[in-house]
Structure 1
Amino acid sequence: MNGAKHRLTPRKLLLSKWTAARPQNREKHFLVTELFCDEDGTVLQIELQAVLSKRCQRLDWRVLQDAEQWHMGWR
């Protein structure tokens, strides 16, 4: 199923839960902890925090649309 995408509303991503399809460093579950917007309020990036390690990474929110990398919710 190549190119499978989640339909997402960027504004509703805050505090949403995600599971990495291919976990690294035992980091499987993530939480969106912050939204980064432009002057018009358009969401550009998110901060994704690993539940296990509390490590944060800043990503383009669109990466979450890739169902081959991310699953909605915690599995």
Structure 2
Amino acid sequence: MTHPTRSWHPKKLLNTKWTAVVPQQREKHFLVVKVELDPLDAQKVEQVTLEAVLSKRHFILHWSELENQTQWRAGWL
């Protein structure tokens, strides 16, 4: 089953909270600290930078990975 593509508005995605379903290195809670936009379309999100609340470590991933319910949940649970 194919899910429709969702386009996040950059102002809504920045500073959102996410919980890793399977924490690694005790990192469970994350904040979106940076949103990178498509250079051809300023309303289209390309990738996001997440910051682990515990360690302050940053990593980049494609925004659509946050929709994977087996890895991420919106909010802090």
User: Above 0.5 in TM-score?
Assistant: yes
Q: TM-score, normalised by structure 1?
A: 0.85
- Count of residues in correspondence between the two structures: 71
- More strand, by proportion: 2
Provide structure 1 residue ranges, at least 5 long, that are not aligned to the other structure. none
Task: Answer 1 or 2: higher relative contact order, Cα 8 Å, separation at least 6.
Answer: 1
Q: RMSD of aligned C-alpha atoms?
A: 1.9
Give the structure 2 partner of residue 31 of structure 1.
31
Provide structure 2 residue ranges, at least 5 long, that are not aligned to the other structure. none
Moved over 6 A (4+): none
Query: 1:1-75, aligned counterparts within 5 Å?
Result: 9-11=8-10, 12-39=12-39, 40-41=41-42, 42-75=44-77
Once the two structures are aligned, what percentage of the paired residues are identical? 49
User: How many Å apart are 1:9 and its aligned residue?
Assistant: 2.4
